Amino acid sequence: MLTAWSNHQEEYAAGIADSIEKDFEGVNHLYTGDPDGHEGAGSPSGLPVFGGDLVPHEDGPPFVILQPVQVKEAAAFLNAADFDSLWDASGAAISAPWGDLTLAREIYLSHHEGLVAFYQTASQAGNAVIKAFWY
């Protein structure tokens, strides 16, 4: 994963990587409606951020893998998700720390659009997705 992270910019430009640097709990809340951020990891709404199977290892960041069938489920959820409806339900809660609702909405919309494109590409290719959680 460390090697992959060093190649992140190139992979991002190629459409085979995406990242959410500090807002991942808020994005998960947006999709699941759960303020604790970890509920629903096995449901389609929880798959894009925290969903997947934990890959045990000794060192480095925790990471999970979504198998191709889960990637397809995540892509289908994201394609069907109406950002405005999700924002109406959770936007006030997840944007509270920002102090600027308009800026927060733009940032979360950007995260959403990035995830839609990423999961769509991975799903169409029949790929698995590996997610690392760098804290």
Structure tokens at 27: 């994005």
pLDDT at 23: 83
Q: Residue 75 burial (CB < 10 Å; 0-12/13-18/19+)? A: buried
The total of structural domains in the chain comes to 1
Range of the domain at 59: 2-132
Centre a 10 Å sphere on the Cβ of residue 46 and count the other Cβ atoms it contains. 21
pLDDT digits (tens, 9 = 90+) for 54-87: 887 777 777 889 999 999 999 999 999 999 999 9
Calculate the average pLDDT of the chain.
Answer: 84
CATH classification of the domain holding 6: 3.40.1760.10
pLDDT below 50 — which residues of the chain?
none
pLDDT score at 79? 96
Q: What is the pLDDT of residue 110?
A: 93
